[in-house]
Amino acid sequence: MRVLTDERRCVGADLGAWMAAGGGAGLERALADRGGIIPAIEAAGLRGLGGAGFATHRKWAAVAAQPGPGKWVICNGNEDEPGTFKDRFLLSRTPHQVIEGALVAALAVGAADIVLYINPREAAAVAVAREAVAQWEAHPLLARLAGALGEAPRLRVVTGSGLYIGGEETAAVASVMGGFPFPRLKPPFPAESGVGDAPTLVNNVETLAHAGHILAQGPEWYRGLGLGGAPGTKLFSLSGDVLRPGLHELPMGTTLRSLVFGHGGGVLAGRAFKAVFTGGPSNTLLTAADLDVPLDFDSLRARGSRLGTGAMIVVGEGTSILRKTAEYVAFFAANSCGQCPPCKIGTHQVSRILERVEAGAGRPGDLRALENLAGLLPGSGRCGLVDGAATVLASSLRTFRGEYERALGPSGQEDGQEDGQGDGQGDRLRGGGLRGGAP
Amino acid sequence: MSAPAAAHGIPHAAALAAWRGRAPAPPRALALPAPELLERFHPDRRPGAMVPLRVGASAGLPCRAELAALLQSDALVEDEDIAGAPLLDADVLVIGGGGAGCVAALTAARAGARVLLATKLRLGDSNTVMAEGGIQAAMGPEDSLQRHFEDTLRAGHFAADKALVAALVSDGPGVIRWLIQEGMGFDLAEGSDRMGGNLLRRKPGGATAARLLSYRDFTGLEMMRALREAVLLAPGITLLERHPALELLTDDRGRCAGAVLHELARGRPVLARAGATVLATGGAGRLHVAGFPTSNHYGATADGLVLAYRLGAALREVDSFQYHPTGIAWPPRMAGQLVSEAARASGAALVNGLGERFVDELDTRDVVAAAILREIAEGRGVARDGQAGVFLDTPGLERAKPGILGRSLVTLTHLAHRAGLDAAAEPFLVRPTLHYQNGGIAIGPDGWSGVPGLLCAGEVTGGLHGRNRMMGNALLELVAFGRRAGAAAAADARAERPRNIGLTHLADWRRALIAQGLPLARKAPLVFPPYGNFDMAKDRGRAA
């Protein structure tokens, strides 16, 4: 069952149409029983759908517990990760769903400043959100919210820097304050000290979009949407070598097999399934052995990976894991803010080595250097960027080492290991014709 | 590779007797009006010859079935194949070592770009060197750009893109000046000497003025000689011979970012990354559409059309090919090779098995070719050793203009020698041969395809010739648009190198093929004709 992407709710910026489609009911309920909001969110088991999977009610309760006024709600729509395209869909197709959720959150935590923080590269999302916000200004529900909050809520759209790093919550705070999106050390968390040192709630667009529905239809309904104990639905940004890529809203806990082979139509051209890059793509690769893992926060964590943003980049036979990894690490290197030397230099160094291995110019020792860096880098930055780069590198090295060895050729390997050994992936590859480093 | 024309007709000996018995006469008026003649006898009009394209930017466009099969096929390379492949960098990548490619490379290099010139065979192995007749440019005092414009449009049955034709004819005089500066020789008119004179001009088929400039009857070869020298001496050009392109690369913005080349010497892929790419891969004669022999060189396998179409470029008039009226019909080992139109431009007649002229030899190529096919189909052709054709009356030409065969139709005389006959004594047996791809990739006046970063020049493009190309416009096109594309590419090649190059367009392409129920088993480009027995998968394994 689709909730967020239900066709009837995709009304664009038209507030009247949103109300006609059942919109506003969640906010009505919230206004009627303000103290019941956070318990309802807790009962529903809503978690941060931007990637962290942190329990939403705990964030809300933390901000609500802070003394007001002057609190903020940031609806985080900075989305810039490769392969993720859910927030731009929600903001451009059904913005009122997001705004209503943000207003529910504002009511729950007692914040009058509500910011839709959107990546400026998503021009359509920005334009639709601006128009949607303008329509709320005159709506009576907003006046009732003002009554409850004790001051008129200030709802606005802020376009950030467009940089990937701006999606990190402390960076989002810095960005909303007009600065460069430098992440900072936590604690203090934004819930204690955010915009202008005021308590600030930062939630992802998809997370907030669920809030109104939970209030309107109850936590039991929401829990019932998921599978195997996981609550609710999840937007999966499916891309790569599948027949039907695109945004799929499925029950939380749907298996990877069902997503790829059922909803995705299978691996393109009937080829063998190799792996999936999830989330950032900054997580451990899912392989054929993980096809029956339910896609929810806890099941994936138990397998040593993460759900992340719900981006699932499918790699089929014929597509190089090495090239994909090099592309993503290059993305992280280019998007390191440069504050923390290990991240700035480390991601750059990994990217440089991967690029030369990929271009057939790898050197002896490159493989060992990559492994050393993958072990050395995690945990060395203020935010998780360097961890993501190291995780995806380590995972691809562990699972698809043969691809690295083939690209390096015999001269690139210190121990003189022959081609084709390793994971057996090389059998199809025409006897190692891809060797570039050979003299 | 026999033409579908039946090999019955009047036996060679009887036809020779008929030809000897008749005095030269004006051509019999066409018994059929030209449109009906084309409708009934032109190979492109045969039912079932064309199919609508089902995927890609030009879905719905009618296309030669043989070509459509290649256009709608899967790629030869996988993403995995290019992991670990050596990477070469350039501002401008030019694919194709014929005339258009050389001109584009020279122009881009002289504008300051670092140029990679990749060619499937060797530099100069191309259809350019096959062009014998000459090059059109409105240079005469009685001629004008307007007349050249109108002649070209009319010959193309008004299907050409007027902006492109305007660009073509306007560049004409400048192109000739440029070629002379590059060191190309031209025939001079009577009375010229070493101190100066005028270019010799002749009237090409379908033209209203004497506009065809030539160098003997190997104009294209002479042009290629000059271009080849210039390319080899240009410091800014890195030449990659025997490096066919297998697939174009895209960057993360969907821009064309170079190509995957296959290094034939070592059997391995090489990536050429470039800010702008010029496709100058020429034509498709070696597809032997409709079973025709071809005048084209060994590499003319439509590779450029396949690559550009897969990347999203639109095509036009891919249902229109040119069959040159006078390909050699006998001896069979030389079937398809071209007897220059210069012979007819100089006055050689076409004669059927009854010794009659049957068409105005200077009519447009499609009409003349259809008229020959009609003579053969209706039993008035000449039959020899299972081959059918009509006579090209070279002895009659030699009688009318003594010495012309030895002086200016050098290639023709050489061909006759190879065929074992004396062109001054015995007529050639000729029949239409697959000669030129009239359509191709749709471009703008600067050579831009619809795909960012991708330009095209030469025979691979469409829009200049409509549905029939005039003699002499191909050589003009390749220089004019080679220069335009080369200059535009150099100006556009960003200082910033393309990032994240790859083959991401293939996934979308495969989805489109699957959605249409088209098979993924067929791989393209062809690279070499089927009888070349070249297997890419095997060749790639050679590097191991």
pLDDT (tens digit, 9 = 90+) per residue, A14-54?
A: 999 999 999 999 999 999 999 999 999 999 999 999 998 99
Q: Any idea which residue has 């002499």 for tokens?
A: B472
Question: Does B537 touch chain A if contact means CB atoms closer than 8 Å?
Answer: yes
Question: What is the phi/psi pair of residue B494, to 5°?
Answer: -70, 150
Whether A5 contacts A233, CB under 8 Å: no
Candidates A268, A359, A434; nearest CB to B87? A359
Look up residue A8 and give its amino acid.
R
Alpha-carbon span A111 to A127, nearest angstrom: 24
For the four alpha carbons of A225, A227, A232 and A236, in that order, the dihedral sign comes to: negative
Angle (CA) B215 B218 B224, round 5°: 90
How high is the pLDDT of residue A421? 38
**Per-residue pLDDT for A431 more than 60?**
no
**Per-residue pLDDT for A90 more than 90?**
yes
CATH class of A321-427: mainly alpha
How high is the pLDDT of residue B362? 87
For chain B, state the CA radius of gyration.
23
> pLDDT band at residue A303, thresholds of 50, 70 and 90?
very high
Question: What is the phi/psi pair of residue A413, to 5°?
Answer: -110, 125
The Cβ of residue A187 has, within 10 Å, a number of other Cβ atoms equal to 8
Question: Does B229 touch chain A if contact means CB atoms closer than 8 Å?
Answer: no
Write out the two tokens for B496: 């910033």
Alpha-carbon span B313 to B333, nearest angstrom: 38
Question: Does B79 touch chain A if contact means CB atoms closer than 8 Å?
Answer: yes
**Per-residue pLDDT for A363 more than 60?**
yes
Helix (H) or strand (E) holding B165: helix B162-182
Q: What share of chain B has pLDDT > 70, as a percent? A: 97
Closest Cα to residue A181, out of A90, A119, A225, A121? Answer: A119
Contact check, Cβ <8 Å, B268/A434: yes
Closest Cα to residue B150, out of B88, B84, B206, B85? Answer: B206
CATH topology identical between A226-316 and A321-427: no
Residue B305 distance to chain A (closest CA, Å): 23
Please state the domain extents for chain A.
7-224, 226-316, 321-427
B36 Cβ contact partners less than 8 Å away, ≥ 6 residues apart? none
Which residues of B are catalytically annotated? 365
Q: What is the mean pLDDT of chain B?
A: 93
**Per-residue pLDDT for B158 more than 50?**
yes
How high is the pLDDT of residue A436? 35
Chain A residues touching residue B265 (CB < 8 angstroms): none
Contact check, Cβ <8 Å, B84/A322: yes
**Per-residue pLDDT for B202 more than 60?**
yes
Residues in chain B: 544
How high is the pLDDT of residue B37? 93
Residue A206, CA atoms < 13 Å, CB-side half-sphere: 29
Which residue is closest to B79 within chain A, CA to CA?
A319
A241 Cβ contact partners less than 8 Å away, ≥ 6 residues apart? A267, A268, A271, A314, A315, A316, A318, A319, B507
Alpha-carbon span A264 to A244, nearest angstrom: 5
Alpha-carbon span B114 to B235, nearest angstrom: 9
**Window from A238-247, B130-139, B448-457 with minimum mean pLDDT:** B130-139
Question: What is the phi/psi pair of residue B185, to 5°?
Answer: -90, 150
Residue A269 distance to chain B (closest CA, Å): 7
Domain A7-224 falls in which CATH fold? Rossmann fold (3.40.50)
Q: Which long-range contacts (CB under 8 A, 24 or more apart) does B491-495 make?
A: B491/B111, B492/B275, B492/B276, B492/B453, B493/B91, B493/B92, B493/B108, B493/B113, B493/B274, B493/B275, B493/B276, B494/B275
Question: What is the phi/psi pair of residue A286, to 5°?
Answer: -95, 135
**Per-residue pLDDT for B477 more than 90?**
yes
Contact check, Cβ <8 Å, A432/B544: yes
**Per-residue pLDDT for B336 more than 80?**
yes
Chain A residues touching residue B268 (CB < 8 angstroms): 433-436
Which residue is closest to B76 within chain A, CA to CA?
A318
> pLDDT band at residue A410, thresholds of 50, 70 and 90?
confident
The Cβ of residue A389 has, within 10 Å, a number of other Cβ atoms equal to 31
Chain B residues touching residue A320 (CB < 8 angstroms): 79-80, 82-83
Domains and CATH numbers, chain B: 10-31+323-435 (3.90.700.10), 80-320+438-492 (3.50.50.60)
How high is the pLDDT of residue A412? 63
**Per-residue pLDDT for B102 more than 60?**
yes
Contact check, Cβ <8 Å, B540/A406: no
Whether B239 contacts B232, CB under 8 Å: yes
CB proximity under 8 Å: B 16-75 to A: 74
Candidates A243, A360, A419; nearest CB to B85? A360
Write out the two tokens for A321: 């894991």
Write out the two tokens for B482: 């080679």
Give me the total of CB pairs closer than 8 Å, taking one residue from chain A and one from chain B: 93
Alpha-carbon span B153 to B161, nearest angstrom: 9
Which residue is closest to A326 within chain B, CA to CA?
B500
Contact check, Cβ <8 Å, B81/A408: no
**Per-residue pLDDT for B388 more than 60?**
yes
Contact check, Cβ <8 Å, A430/B82: no
Q: Is A333 exposed, middle or buried (0-12, 13-18, 19+ CB in 10 A)?
A: buried
Bridge partners (DSSP) listed for residue A195: none
Question: Does B520 touch chain A if contact means CB atoms closer than 8 Å?
Answer: yes
Look up residue A272 and give its amino acid.
A
Contact check, Cβ <8 Å, B83/A407: yes
Task: Tell me the residues of A at the B interface, defined by beta carbons under 8 Å apart.
Answer: 240-241, 243, 245, 268-269, 318-320, 322-323, 327, 330, 357-362, 403, 406-409, 419, 429-437
Over residues A93-114, the mean pLDDT reads 98
**Per-residue pLDDT for A330 more than 60?**
yes
Cis ω for the linkage preceding B525 (within 30 of 0): yes
Closest Cα to residue B480, out of B454, B515, B445? Answer: B445
Contact check, Cβ <8 Å, A269/B514: yes
Q: What share of chain A has pLDDT > 90, as a percent? A: 91
Write out the two tokens for A309: 């943003």
> pLDDT band at residue A419, thresholds of 50, 70 and 90?
very low
Contact check, Cβ <8 Å, A437/B541: no
Contact check, Cβ <8 Å, B268/A435: yes
> pLDDT band at residue B495, thresholds of 50, 70 and 90?
low
Whether B434 contacts B328, CB under 8 Å: no
Contact check, Cβ <8 Å, A318/B78: yes
Alpha-carbon span A178 to A115, nearest angstrom: 13
Comparing B195 with B140, the larger pLDDT belongs to B140
Alpha-carbon span A335 to A82, nearest angstrom: 12
> pLDDT band at residue B30, thresholds of 50, 70 and 90?
low
Angle (CA) B127 B301 B155, round 5°: 55
Give Cα A424 distance to the centre of its chain: 32
CATH class of A226-316: alpha beta
Which residue is closest to A320 within chain B, CA to CA?
B80
What is Dmax (Cα atoms) for chain A?
77
> pLDDT band at residue B22, thresholds of 50, 70 and 90?
confident
Chain A residues touching residue B87 (CB < 8 angstroms): 359-361
How high is the pLDDT of residue B7? 55
Chain A residues touching residue B81 (CB < 8 angstroms): 429, 433-434
Chain B residues touching residue A430 (CB < 8 angstroms): 537, 540-541, 544
How high is the pLDDT of residue B539? 86
Contact check, Cβ <8 Å, A243/B74: no
Whether A234 contacts A210, CB under 8 Å: no
Over residues A276-282, the mean pLDDT reads 90
Question: Does B500 touch chain A if contact means CB atoms closer than 8 Å?
Answer: yes
Over residues A372-387, the mean pLDDT reads 95
**Window from A327-341, B2-16, B483-497, B519-533 with minimum mean pLDDT:** B2-16
Contact check, Cβ <8 Å, A433/B74: no
Alpha-carbon span A191 to A168, nearest angstrom: 14
Alpha-carbon span B109 to B274, nearest angstrom: 13
**Per-residue pLDDT for B339 more than 70?**
yes
Alpha-carbon span A26 to A33, nearest angstrom: 11
* Most confident range, picked from A430-439, B35-44, B228-237: B228-237
Candidates B82, B84, B511; nearest CB to A435? B84
Alpha-carbon span A195 to A182, nearest angstrom: 13
**Per-residue pLDDT for B99 more than 90?**
yes
Over residues A213-234, the mean pLDDT reads 97
**Per-residue pLDDT for B2 more than 90?**
no
> pLDDT band at residue A112, thresholds of 50, 70 and 90?
very high
Whether B215 contacts B187, CB under 8 Å: yes
Candidates A243, A434, A436; nearest CB to B511? A243
DSSP state of B341: H
Residue B54 distance to chain A (closest CA, Å): 18
Contact check, Cβ <8 Å, B84/A437: yes
What HEC string does chain A produce? CCCCCCHHHCCCCCHHHHHHCCCCHHHHHHHHCHHHHHHHHHHHCCECCCCCCCEHHHHHHHHHHCCCCCEEEEEEECCCCCCCCCHHHHHHHCHHHHHHHHHHHHHHHCEEEEEEEECCCCHHHHHHHHHHHHHHHCCHHHHHHHHHHCCCCEEEEEECCCCHHHHCHHHHHHHHCCCCCCCCCCCCCCCCCCHHHCCEEEEEHHHHHHHHHHHHHCHHHHHHHCCCCCCCEEEEEEEECECCCEEEEEECCCEHHHHHHHHCCCEHHHCCEEEEEECCCCCCCEEHHHCCCECCHHHHHHCCCCCCCCEEEEEECCCCHHHHHHHHHHHHHHHCCCCCHHHHHHHHHHHHHHHHHHCCCCCCCHHHHHHHHHHHCCCCCCCCHHHHHHHHHHHHHHHCHHHHHHHHCHHHCCCCCCCCCCCCHHHHCHHHCCCCCCC
Q: Pick from B73, B77, B80 the residue to mutate for testing the A interface (most A CBs within 10 Å).
A: B80
**Window from A86-95, A373-382, B22-31, B247-256 with minimum mean pLDDT:** B22-31
Residue B440 distance to chain A (closest CA, Å): 29
Angle (CA) A336 A341 A346, round 5°: 70
> pLDDT band at residue B345, thresholds of 50, 70 and 90?
confident
Q: Any idea which residue has 């020298």 for tokens?
A: B229
> pLDDT band at residue A78, thresholds of 50, 70 and 90?
very high
Look up residue A225 and give its amino acid.
L
A245 Cβ contact partners less than 8 Å away, ≥ 6 residues apart? A238, A239, A264, B507
Over residues B284-310, the mean pLDDT reads 96
**Window from A81-95, A163-177, B49-63, B201-215 with minimum mean pLDDT:** B201-215
Cis ω for the linkage preceding B244 (within 30 of 0): no
Over residues B222-251, the mean pLDDT reads 97
Alpha-carbon span B59 to B52, nearest angstrom: 7
Q: What is the mean pLDDT of chain A?
A: 92
